[in-house]
Structure 1
């Protein structure tokens, strides 16, 4: 089980089939910054809108524009290529001389704002992402689709790692197994494959909990994660106070991000995690991650999109808007609706 396609759905059978990304404008992502610029320092923060380009390609353009090495350009997160996205970059300019933004403008890149800051932009330094997705060729009963969207907004959904983590046809997991078996990889490939292996194991545990109808409820021995944080606590006996916090999305059940050390869960939660990760492939992935020195961590099993709305632009065209925390995937939302073909892959 390596990507999102074969995973179970928390709300039952698919209610639609559709197509996305017929044009980059149909998949829009706006990064939500985690902080305000200080107004001083030697790092120039740039809010950039890009179209049809990878985050890394734009970083290269910024380096050439500023006359600095590519290592002098940083960004908080990667954004889709086949999309229109806005995100923040920082460029290290010790002499505080910034070229004109107009010199950078092209069909694919536009600088929306700039400000000085006293630190380099760090990976993960974002508050989340806001999405606008337009689905075309929608087939399905409109009332059922409307109800499914409302259910997701009210109850949340399983916090799957999206198929982007696993490469086309899930090939990153097979490559990770080959790497653990001795195949040499570049450092950047190694990091990507370690993440894919961890993500595949997490999705296995989450799939088991979805199949059992317990992805958003408490099991005995649960480890809890605070909403909007990486902080965890437990296990501890279930109480009215914990149930109330779970109901208002202040805390979430969590699953393992594999590494060295014992699982923190106990009781029924521990038994489920161990059973979900007991086969030969999972055992090989676990051993490889431990050998690589990663430590046991946790990830929330549940997420709730913020400000989720939908509108029918035409009889067969559906617009979805919502915001997600860092590290969460819009494809997880689409998965709960049904089967959505990505037109950008047709070429």
Structure 2
């Protein structure tokens, strides 16, 4: 299936409000204009087997920061923990935990973690830092050269987002540098090893002409892979592209597709699978937005609680009228699907919307469930909206500074998408680059 055959149309919550501008060409603020700081559940206790590092990273994925620190400490990557993945192109401050002794701590104290990474503070804690173990994230974003009319649009848009909730879509960073992670997740979930290799290593993920710099190098690597020159392709990949390098090393050594795919690290495999889940969720959210339903409960909906202690717990909705008060007070929100065998199924109209989104995407959630489980992804529900709090908008000369807090898992890029209208609407770029997935080599 190709995008033209399974169209997913995007949608904004605020289509009638003009974009405020202020986002540079390329669609993203510069790192110095986009800052995010993790809000932890609690500070480290001060004693324990785990070393907590408060880091600042610039232009660096969280997993690369984790790899560097684990390598310097001399501990396996699996002994590292983090509460969430922060945008690689932002200036981000967050906690990383490492299970290590005093000798490793001493090695870290005198080491240079490399360009784009600084350790700002160290403390001891009793437990590994787990995904989602944070209260939220605090963002500071500078929009450049915003006109008075643009400022008015920004204020109007953000006021509406604060009142109705930010469409809780997964931002473009969830889908990888070239937007192909969901397609890789589908191929892996369906056990189509040839498709997985083609998606991860081939040239179809590169769109546009006249590429320069790193992308031109990676495109040449893709062409060498497609020509069967696996060693030549491997030589062109930077060390940070670990999954691709492992695949090419296996292929260069004579491995078959299935043998090569098994070299993908578990964390990367889970990221590809979660990108597939995110693609279906975004397609469902786009349909709900287009019908004015991202903050409305329907009979048969699954809802999740936003209350402390119950956050993320899913249940089916009976009579939406009985939920009107808690919906209005933002204690509860309708929730979209994250595919997997333990996902609570919707019924009625919500189920029909989810089935329509899957059909348009060309995705069989039930058929992918077993493969997702092998990646450690058993399914869940995610709120269709996120609460925007502590909103502050200030003029700084010709620029506009936005400050706000979002709950764990919500993307500031989705706030920018609505305010600046610099990106196509949510869901507009969903689709696969190659033909039907699931009918290729599934053997060793």
TM, length-normalised to structure 1: 0.85
C-alpha deviation, 1:55, in angstroms? 2.2
C-alpha deviation, 1:57, in angstroms? 3.2
User: Any unmatched runs of 5+ in structure 2?
Assistant: 194-257, 424-444
Could you tell me whether the CA contact under 8 Å between 1:19 and 1:138 is conserved in 2? no
Alignment pair present for 1:12 and 2:92:
no
Partner of 1:239, secondary structure, is helix
Distance 1:150 1:261, change over 3 A: closer
C-alpha deviation, 1:200, in angstroms? 0.9
Alignment pair present for 1:174 and 2:172:
no
For 2:49, the equivalent position in structure 1 comes to 42
- From 96, 100, 123, the equivalent of 1:89 is 96
- From 230, 253, 261, the equivalent of 2:334 is 253
For 1:121, the equivalent position in structure 2 comes to 129
Partner of 2:160, secondary structure, is helix
Partner of 1:99, secondary structure, is helix
1:141, 1:163 → 2: CA distance? 24
The alignment covers a number of residue pairs equal to: 335
1:225, 1:35 → 2: CA distance? 24
2:268, 2:67 → 1: CA distance? 19
User: Any unmatched runs of 5+ in structure 1?
Assistant: 342-347
Partner of 2:98, secondary structure, is strand
- From 192, 199, 205, the equivalent of 2:271 is 192
2:355, 2:102 → 1: CA distance? 55
Moved more, 298-307 or 134-143: 134-143
Aligned ranges 1:260-271 → 2 under 5 Å: 260=341, 264-271=345-352
For 2:405, the equivalent position in structure 1 comes to 323
Alignment pair present for 1:221 and 2:228:
no
For 1:337, the equivalent position in structure 2 comes to 419
- Higher share of residues assigned strand: 1
TM, length-normalised to structure 2: 0.68
For 1:307, the equivalent position in structure 2 comes to 390
Partner of 2:139, secondary structure, is strand
Aligned ranges 1:266-277 → 2 under 5 Å: 266-277=347-358
C-alpha deviation, 1:247, in angstroms? 0.6
1:279, 1:52 → 2: CA distance? 34
Could you tell me whether the CA contact under 8 Å between 2:140 and 2:401 is conserved in 1? yes
C-alpha deviation, 1:261, in angstroms? 6.1
* RMSD over aligned Cα atoms: 2.7
1:95, 1:101 → 2: CA distance? 10
Could you tell me whether the CA contact under 8 Å between 1:198 and 1:289 is conserved in 2? no
2:54, 2:342 → 1: CA distance? 40
1:41, 1:96 → 2: CA distance? 14
C-alpha deviation, 1:152, in angstroms? 1.4
Could you tell me whether the CA contact under 8 Å between 1:235 and 1:266 is conserved in 2? no
Could you tell me whether the CA contact under 8 Å between 2:29 and 2:142 is conserved in 1? no
Could you tell me whether the CA contact under 8 Å between 1:222 and 1:235 is conserved in 2? yes
Distance 1:278 1:37, change over 3 A: same
1:62, 1:263 → 2: CA distance? 38
Aligned ranges 1:130-141 → 2 under 5 Å: 130-138=138-146, 141=150
Distance 1:89 1:173, change over 3 A: closer
Moved more, 112-121 or 50-59: 50-59
Instruction: Note the alpha carbon deviations across 1:169-194, whole angstroms, 9 max, x for none.
Output: 53223333433261143244432221
Distance 1:107 1:170, change over 3 A: closer
Partner of 2:421, secondary structure, is strand
Could you tell me whether the CA contact under 8 Å between 2:87 and 2:173 is conserved in 1? no
Distance 1:6 1:135, change over 3 A: farther
For 1:208, the equivalent position in structure 2 comes to 287
Distance 1:72 1:319, change over 3 A: same
Distance 1:52 1:216, change over 3 A: same
